[in-house]
Structure 1
Amino acid sequence: MHTTFMPSAAADVLCAHCGLPVPEGLLEVDAEQQFCCSGCHTAFGILHAHGLDSYYGFAERREAPVRASGRSYDEFDHPAFANLYVTALPNGLSRTELYLEGVHCASCVWLVERVPLLVPGVLRAELDVRRSLAVVEWDIATVPLSRIAQSLDTLGYPPHPFRGVARADMRKREDRAMLVRIGIAGAIAINVMLAALALYAGELNTMDASFTRFFRWVSFAITVPAFIWPGRVFFTGAWASWRTRALHMDLPIAIALAAGFVRGAMNTVTDSGPIYFDGLALLIFALLVGRFLQQRGQRMAVDAAEELHAIAPSTARIVDNDLVRDIPSEALLPGMLLDVRAGESFPADGVVIRGHSSVNAALLTGESRSTSVSVGQMVFAGTLNVESPLRVQVEQAGETSRIAKLMRQVEDSAKRRAPIVQTANRMAGIFTAVVLLAAATTFVIKSQLSAAHALDDAIALLIVTCPCALALATPLAITVAVGRAARRGMLIKGGDALELLATPGIIVLDKTGTITEGRTALAAWHGPDWVKPLVLALEDGSSHPLADGFRRAWSGFPMATVSASRHFAGGGLEGTVDGHIVRIGSPRFVRESTISIDESMERVMNDLDRTLTPVHIGIDGVLVAIAGLGDRVRDDALDSLQQLRGRGWRTVMLSGDAQDVVASVGRALAFEAQDSIGAVSPEGKLAFVERLKATSGRTVVMVGDGVNDAAAIAAAHVGIGVHGGAEACLATADVYLTRPGLGALVELTEGSRRTLRVIRRNIALSIGYNLIGASLAVFGLLTPLIAAILMPTSSITVVLGSWYSTTFARSTTTESVS
């Protein structure tokens, strides 16, 4: 096949597969179809060979070149992969769920679901385009899963194992069941209210007795299903309360519902007295809605084992008899030899046996500066290899690695955490006992005078003091506050965090990524501007964090021309840029080739902030510039910390960074000297937080963003993960701040204080209502009918009070949810 270059006028030729313009260098003379890349050529050939040309009839289809990775996907055939992601089906079949990259329209669905025609042995392939999730069933004896994965990759849909399937399905089923209950309860309540409306209208206009009887029986018949299914959850809870001899708020609710229903049924049969069915049906609906909202607000915690997979890579590249192949990280064993390239994370703990590089361990240790590693030194799973390829011998993998041990400490801390009982729950036992005792006493005393009036007064007491308002007082206020906080970029997992944050205590803050921006930035520059394009050109191809700091600082500068460059591990870069020999790197590295250093540069070297990483720039043998790179303190840090201190909070900075760096930042942000603590390991952070909890007698809040903070966050009374934090840190945190900076932390503490005030007011209103209603019922001044009408009043008051109260600001901001 002859390939030649065509003139630029032919650039309008479009790729036969993806429809994008074909580069001039890939145009083929006299070819019927032209392709923009080899991937599209291969995909077109596969479809054409299998008679699937109708794919090209879709009006909307893939508009991106096929970038096949060329991976073997051998790890998909490993037994460890099968144990994690493959389900065995009858008749020797298997099923798995794969996340596919590049899915976006109906043509993708059509193409993926034709995989059984492309790969013999595949029985079914179904694609959920919204979730990019493909379900594949195949005969494992006919074709390995790796072959199926290769076919998907060749078509432009690189597959990945899908995690969290069981949890997602379980939560979907639970939500669907609860929503069905709420829907049925709501429909029943509406219909019962319509029948009740007819009865109320009939009382005013003297309805015929036969019609009155008819509507009473209709109300009874419609209400029965509400008790059989939607309302059954309250009776189940009451039965569990009775069996465990622990008074629960479901018990008086169930007794009130049962008493009202039984009395209403008796009055329906005898055709006398009130029937209460409208109030009961509405109560079941309102309580189910409140329970659903509370349940949804507590659904943000993630299993620590899942987060272990998110931190460490899911696959590892091992060297076996000089052959490099991929296997699942779960299959790694001590003694295996790993090949870890620049820019990749280490999948296990191990010892470097070949190579020299630098490692970014900020995720694990909090150290903002990369550290050099060489032969004989340890590296840890989850940390990042920055500069050069390394060969690492596995020492600890999976559950025995350092990161896995940290995850177990996180889990243990979460289990040891003392449960914060809500204000309403603290009163539930006493309230329930008092209501039941008052109702029984009313019935016993008044039954000596009139049994019928005694039962009506007791039922009126149970109905009017039904603790629905008390049950809704806390979750409604919390739900409204959590919703408004979320719109302000503060995701709160539970009401206990709001209650604890309402009272000033001790806030322990990680430095890297919390107080600082968590990334390398150019903080000092001493040199002429004409040097900057040369530095930028040489650093442009580097993956080192320091190079990223230069690129961000000088993104608008023109790019010079690099004719040659070389990287020196642990030293820096050297290259020819616009005819100049440029050397950038550590002071020692640049001095090796520097002929001249003038006095001004000597002064800069002596005066440069010791917390910054010095980078020297030599051009043609002369030291012409010195840069200082470091982790910038957030712009709002000082003001936010001062506001917290002014409200009674003690602030402590706890970091894995060097003590001199932490002390310098602490002085700039007005920390007390003893509260700026550096060189602390993840285990040390956990011990520090637990010691504060045991000795301070105050609420201890831990704020951080890394895996090194996760155990301390779980151990604290309240753990807060900040914007950009590691998944494990965020999973264990009680609150996640999606807005960068510490301003959201100030708003969180103030909003929590206001929320607790609203909760206390709601509880006071509901108790006051119940006391007044109970007094009227006990003295016979309240009939069951009036009690049923008044019953929702306290709940409505609580709902309106929670909604219109100022907890967190209502308005959204452009900074809110990232």
Structure 2
Amino acid sequence: MSTEALRFAAAAPTATDTACTHCGLAVPEGLVDAQSDRQFCCTGCHTAFTILHEHGLDSYYGFAERREAPVRASGRSYEEFDHPAFAQLYVTTTAEGLARTELYLEGVHCASCVWLVERIPLLQSGVVRAELDVRRSLAVVEWDASVVPLSTVARSLDLLGYPPHPFRGVARDDMRRREDRAMLVRIGMAGAIAINVMLAALALYAGEVNGMESRFTTFFRWVSFAITVPAFIWPGRVFFTGAWASLRTKSLHMDLPIAIALAAGLVRGSINTFTGEGPIYFDGLAILIFALLVGRFLQQRGQRMAADAAELLHAIAPSTARIVEQDIIREVPAEALLPGMVLDVRAGETFAADGLVQAGASSVNAALLTGESRPTSVVVGMPVFAGTLNIEAPLRILVEQAGETSRIAKLLRQVEDSAKRRAPIVQMANRLAGIFTAVVLVAALATFVIKTQLNAPAALDDAIALLIVTCPCALALATPLAITVAVGRAAGNGMLIKGGDALELLATPGTLVLDKTGTITEGRTALTSWVGPEWVKPLVLALEEGSSHPLADGFRRAWPGLDTPPVERSQHVVGGGLEGVINGQIIRVGSPRFVAQTLTETPDHLLAAITALDPTHTPVHIAIDGVLVALAGLGDQIREDALASLQQLRARGWRTVMLSGDATDVVASVGRVLQFDAQDAIGVASPEDKLAFIERCKKAGTVVMVGDGVNDAAAIAAASVGIGVHGGAEACLATADIYLTRPGLSALVELTEGARRTMRVIRRNIAFSIGYNLIGAGMAMVGLLTPLIAAVLMPTSSITVVLGSWYGHTFARRPRGAAAISENVA
């Protein structure tokens, strides 16, 4: 036993002062063993101490800083870690044939944790290596799978107080690390070569000024040649690989002029080295490769930053979840969730995975996923899905699918894949970049030939500078980067855009066709008018309280929180309404015909109100003891932002049309309120009629169809741009180009304005790229640029385009995450 452990044991003269031998925390009075000098606060610490002591790892207790909590082994078997599906997702194979995985560990906080975790190979045979990144609580474990299964390794970590969880995203992070490592090694090698070549060049330059024997000049020229060639063979090879791919696929690529420039410089320098006459260029070429690689690395990082903005899943699903194991609840990263786990989800929280309700009853807002604006009741055995919101009460959920395999992830993957679809302006920019590359090659050749005939000493330098400075990197990046950033920002604002072509079409006004129910209106029954005294409302609400009828739901939403009297008895009359007794009075609530059956008196002011009631709304009469006392009108209420949004769209040049399957008088009434032209408020339109109307409108120009994605699916698919709003989300993602997760029409205004701004950023990027290339080409042709200066300017232009796209004012930046999305759909 270590000195530190003995010190802890000796410091325990009384129960209240007794410290745990393993963790150093206070030992509960009932666990103090007066016959032993080793005291433990729990069985977990006792087990951990025994393991360390038996394996001679008592040095652990020499750390001044130790655990902040007792060891609480979960008792899990971790059998799922041995499942082939787990291995496919999280386990890789090293060059030595070992299995490798990355695990998130709970309870990591200090150097002692690092020391202990990295001693796992001593505790468990078959484990070869364990490394712990304490900042991220990330452990890298390598083991021989033929000797020990991963579940056994996981149990060992668990017994020591570090319950492991799979670290999701390993493949992408590994790929990025490999790419970055390879590029940084190339840059480092290119930089080292450039420095050594420069030293040789300095000797040559000094020799030209002060005089140097020819044998030393020849020596330094050959040294420069010998050092520079490896820069072409390894670090600079990426440019020649890209150029060869360009030639093989018969498509002009931006690496082609760079490779030609580098090859021309190397050939000319090599010839001059062998002949002993003329400039050798090696110092400039070495620095050029270094500068180009640094520029490409910065450019890739900028592209990655833009691509990360489009990771829609992280904007919707929560980042953590609480799992339940043997009645113990603890929080883990959402990446650690696996099938078979049990989640504790409280009211107001978003589900982190797909699963079945194991315990509890609540209601779920699934608007994001299904488009259903009304909460859905869930009980034991019913499914719930990641990204949806638990509204009323705590639930226990048995996980079935999590992370990339969840329903929302699969749906959003369609969006991410479709976002790669190239807009016409992207294709135009790519064609322009190819044409520009061809023009640059011809211009460089002409510059070299003409200046050679004129005996210009820097003919080759000027041609090389022209090839480098006019590399169309910035031109090729100008459009896709702007669209990628815009799509990512739009996703954070509740607008899931499948392709850049939709943004381009939305930037120019055309015909905007909107479905009525669920798009212009709320899509649910609401109280639109009330004529009667306030004291009647609690009576109506009491009678409707147990009814599942949509009209009853409208009353409940209109008067939440009202105190209701007890109902003595009640009955539901099919097709009529409700009759009940409250405080000895007979209350009838229902259709005019149903209430009129027992009516003995109708006040004059209510007769006038009946005449004035909007005919497009459902009338509900309320009578007490045969006397009509109140009237209510219920209907599908127009969204609050509908009129203002439509007016803004019209002011920007959009023709707005309402196309609905509802009755003509209902559509006409809504059309008058929202100031549609009479011919643009069309009712009684079947799905076939809607499709035919869209096809006719497309002949005149761009047509955008906005609907709920179910009965409007055919029209949405046929439109130039199809937009799904708050209804039938899965159908929308399958057929629509854009899906709006936010209720209301204000998102349409933001969408069209964001599209217009995105096109403005794209045009600005293209204009800058073309202007830069024209100016750079002109300066190179007249001899104002050296190859080195050109190498510095070329990546600068690309970085400028990256920053211009990232900071371009396209869609407003809003807080990302599940909370923001849930707020939008609530």
Task: Provide the TM-score with structure 1 as the length reference.
Answer: 0.58
**Superposition deviation, residue 237 in structure 1:** 1.4
**Superposition deviation, residue 259 in structure 1:** 1.4
Going from structure 1 to structure 2, the CA distance change for 1:462 and 1:51 (only over 3 Å counts) comes to closer
- Write the letter of the residue equivalent to 2:719: L
In the alignment, what sits opposite 1:768?
774
Please list, as runs of the form range in 1=range in 2, the aligned pairs for 1:43-58 lying within 5 A after superposition. 43-51=44-52, 54-55=60-61, 57-58=63-64
- Picking from 366, 373, 397, the partner of 1:361 is 366
- Say whether 1:107 aligns with 2:106: no
Going from structure 1 to structure 2, the CA distance change for 1:293 and 1:581 (only over 3 Å counts) comes to same
Going from structure 1 to structure 2, the CA distance change for 1:213 and 1:305 (only over 3 Å counts) comes to same
Please list, as runs of the form range in 1=range in 2, the aligned pairs for 1:442-591 lying within 5 A after superposition. 457=459, 460-466=462-468, 468-473=470-475, 475=477
- The separation in 2 between residues aligned to 1:806 and 1:354, in whole angstroms, is 48
- Write the letter of the residue equivalent to 1:766: Y
Deviations 1:745-773 (A, max 9, x none): 68855653442243233233234225535
- Write the letter of the residue equivalent to 1:208: G
Count residues in correspondence: 687
- The separation in 2 between residues aligned to 1:82 and 1:807, in whole angstroms, is 37
- The separation in 2 between residues aligned to 1:498 and 1:186, in whole angstroms, is 42
- Write the letter of the residue equivalent to 1:760: I
Give the 3-state SS of the residue equivalent to 2:29 in structure 1.
coil
- The separation in 2 between residues aligned to 1:391 and 1:30, in whole angstroms, is 33
- Picking from 753, 761, 765, the partner of 1:755 is 761
Deviations 1:603-638 (A, max 9, x none): 9xxx9xx99xxxxxxxxxxxxxxxx9x999999x99
- The separation in 2 between residues aligned to 1:104 and 1:509, in whole angstroms, is 56
Going from structure 1 to structure 2, the CA distance change for 1:240 and 1:704 (only over 3 Å counts) comes to farther
In the alignment, what sits opposite 1:732?
none
- Say whether 1:292 aligns with 2:294: no
- Say whether 1:272 aligns with 2:275: no
Going from structure 1 to structure 2, the CA distance change for 1:669 and 1:73 (only over 3 Å counts) comes to farther
- Write the letter of the residue equivalent to 1:231: G
Going from structure 1 to structure 2, the CA distance change for 1:259 and 1:341 (only over 3 Å counts) comes to closer
Going from structure 1 to structure 2, the CA distance change for 1:667 and 1:437 (only over 3 Å counts) comes to same
* RMSD value, Cα: 7.7
Give the 3-state SS of the residue equivalent to 2:278 in structure 1.
coil
* Cα pair 2:485 2:805 within 8 Å, conserved: no
In the alignment, what sits opposite 1:561?
none
- Write the letter of the residue equivalent to 1:50: I
- The separation in 2 between residues aligned to 1:647 and 1:666, in whole angstroms, is 20
Task: Provide the TM-score with structure 2 as the length reference.
Answer: 0.57
* Cα pair 1:360 1:370 within 8 Å, conserved: yes
Going from structure 1 to structure 2, the CA distance change for 1:815 and 1:66 (only over 3 Å counts) comes to farther
* Cα pair 1:71 1:150 within 8 Å, conserved: yes
**Superposition deviation, residue 650 in structure 1:** 8.2
**Superposition deviation, residue 174 in structure 1:** 1.0
Give the 3-state SS of the residue equivalent to 2:139 in structure 1.
strand
* Cα pair 1:354 1:392 within 8 Å, conserved: yes
Going from structure 1 to structure 2, the CA distance change for 1:360 and 1:647 (only over 3 Å counts) comes to same
**Superposition deviation, residue 173 in structure 1:** 0.4
Give the 3-state SS of the residue equivalent to 2:719 in structure 1.
helix
Deviations 1:725-760 (A, max 9, x none): xxxxxxxxxxxxxxx999986885565344224323
- Say whether 1:231 aligns with 2:236: yes
**Superposition deviation, residue 422 in structure 1:** 6.0
- The separation in 2 between residues aligned to 1:687 and 1:207, in whole angstroms, is 83
Please list, as runs of the form range in 1=range in 2, the aligned pairs for 1:237-256 lying within 5 A after superposition. 237-256=242-261
- Write the letter of the residue equivalent to 1:225: P
Worse-superposed segment, 287-296 or 306-315: 306-315
In the alignment, what sits opposite 1:184?
189
**Superposition deviation, residue 236 in structure 1:** 1.1
- Picking from 46, 67, 84, the partner of 1:61 is 67
In the alignment, what sits opposite 1:168?
173
Please list, as runs of the form range in 1=range in 2, the aligned pairs for 1:33-182 lying within 5 A after superposition. 41-51=42-52, 54-55=60-61, 57-63=63-69, 71=76, 73-76=78-81, 78=83, 80-81=85-86, 84-85=89-90, 96-113=101-118, 125-136=130-141, 149=154, 152-153=157-158, 156-182=161-187
* Cα pair 1:122 1:136 within 8 Å, conserved: yes
* Cα pair 1:290 1:475 within 8 Å, conserved: no
**Superposition deviation, residue 367 in structure 1:** 1.8
* Cα pair 2:521 2:638 within 8 Å, conserved: yes
- Write the letter of the residue equivalent to 1:43: G
Going from structure 1 to structure 2, the CA distance change for 1:127 and 1:598 (only over 3 Å counts) comes to farther
In the alignment, what sits opposite 1:568?
none
Give the 3-state SS of the residue equivalent to 1:99 in structure 2.
strand
Q: Which runs of 5+ in 2 are unaligned?
A: 1-13, 326-335, 523-532, 539-552, 591-605, 607-612, 618-633, 661-666, 683-703, 818-826
- The separation in 1 between residues aligned to 2:514 and 2:18, in whole angstroms, is 56
* Cα pair 2:509 2:654 within 8 Å, conserved: yes
In the alignment, what sits opposite 1:620?
none
**Superposition deviation, residue 45 in structure 1:** 2.2
**Superposition deviation, residue 172 in structure 1:** 0.9
- Write the letter of the residue equivalent to 1:471: C
**Superposition deviation, residue 177 in structure 1:** 0.8
Give the 3-state SS of the residue equivalent to 1:98 in structure 2.
strand
In the alignment, what sits opposite 2:692?
none
* Cα pair 2:224 2:282 within 8 Å, conserved: no
Give the 3-state SS of the residue equivalent to 2:472 in structure 1.
helix
- Write the letter of the residue equivalent to 1:28: E
Q: Which runs of 5+ in 1 are unaligned?
A: 1-9, 318-327, 333-337, 518-525, 532-545, 555-576, 612-627, 656-661, 694-699, 725-739
Going from structure 1 to structure 2, the CA distance change for 1:219 and 1:646 (only over 3 Å counts) comes to farther
**Superposition deviation, residue 168 in structure 1:** 1.9
In the alignment, what sits opposite 2:687?
none
Please list, as runs of the form range in 1=range in 2, the aligned pairs for 1:420-435 lying within 5 A after superposition. 421=426, 424-435=429-440
* Cα pair 1:510 1:709 within 8 Å, conserved: no
